Amino acid sequence: MSVIEHHEIGKYIPHRHPFLLIDRITEIEAFKRVVAIKNVTGSEYFFQGHFPERPVMPGVLIIEAMAQAAATLATYSTPSERGKIIFFAAIERARFRKPVIPGDTIRMEIDVDKAKSRMWKVNGKAFVGADLACEANLTAMIGG
C-alpha cells in the first residue's frame, strides 16, 4: 500500500487546479482500493456562490472528488493508461448524508467492484470524521 502526495497526483490524472479535488492518497492497492483525502479550506472557488451566507460543498463535487480518487486508482493499476481522460459512464445510488463545510476533511474510500479492460465500476464513500457524508456507485471508462 502506497501513499501518493499532492504534487504526484498529476502523474496519474489530468485534473489540475482549481478542479483537482483530492489532496493526497493515503492508501492505494492496485485493482482493489484507494483512500484519498480532501481538506476543505473554504477558499475553494465554489464557496463564493454556494452559499455565501452558509457555505456548503456541492454534492456533485464530492462525487467528482471520489471519481478523481477512483481515476487515480485506475491509472495507478494500469500504467499504460496514465494521463488519459477518464469519463463517467454512470452514477448510481448517490446519497448525500451530511453537508461538507469549510474546515472539514473528507476521507474518500473507494473499493473496486469490477475492473475490466478500460471499464471500471467502483463503490465510493466519503466521510467527515466518522460520519458518512456521501456514497455512490460510479462507472467510468478510460478514454484516449
Distance, C-alpha 114 to centroid of its chain: 17
Active-site option among 6, 7, 15, 50: 50
Burial of 114 (0-12, 13-18, 19+ CB in 10 A): exposed
Q: Who contacts 44 (Cβ-Cβ below 8 Å, separation ≥6)?
A: 18, 57
Distance, C-alpha 93 to centroid of its chain: 16
Distance, C-alpha 87 to centroid of its chain: 13
* Residues shown for the chain: 144
The residue behind cell 482549481 is: 18
Contact 27, 33 (CB under 8 A): yes
Side chain identity, residue 15: H
15 is catalytic: no
Show which residues are catalytic: 50
